[in-house]
Amino acid sequence: MQVKIKSFDVEMEVKNSGVEFQVHSPDGKEHLGDLVLTKSKLTWCPGRTKRENGIDISWKKFIEMIQDSK
């Protein structure tokens, strides 16, 4: 996978607006979507989906899901 930060604030703490990552196929030719990380949740925006129409998951639910996958 190719993952790029779309915007990056120099402060290390994630702000309310979050950090947005572009996710591309390994060859870089296909834009798979964007992942937005904020203080309260993660939002997956498949393809060219706008942030407000993305799929949200809370940090708590994300952590539970990852821990359950072991």
Residue 70 clears pLDDT 90, i.e. is over it: no
Domain with 28 in it: 2-68
- CB-side neighbour CA atoms (13 Å) of 42: 12
Q: Is the pTM of this model over 0.85?
A: no
Contact 18, 8 (CB under 8 A): no
State residue 45's pLDDT score: 97
Number of domain units in the chain: 1
12 or 55: which leads in pLDDT: 55
Using one digit for the tens of pLDDT, what is the confidence trace for 15-65? Answer: 677 888 899 999 999 999 999 998 899 999 999 999 999 999 999 999 999
Residues 14 and 42: their CA atoms lie apart, in Å, by 12
Residue 10 clears pLDDT 60, i.e. is over it: no
Residues 8 and 30: their CA atoms lie apart, in Å, by 22
Contact 62, 42 (CB under 8 A): yes
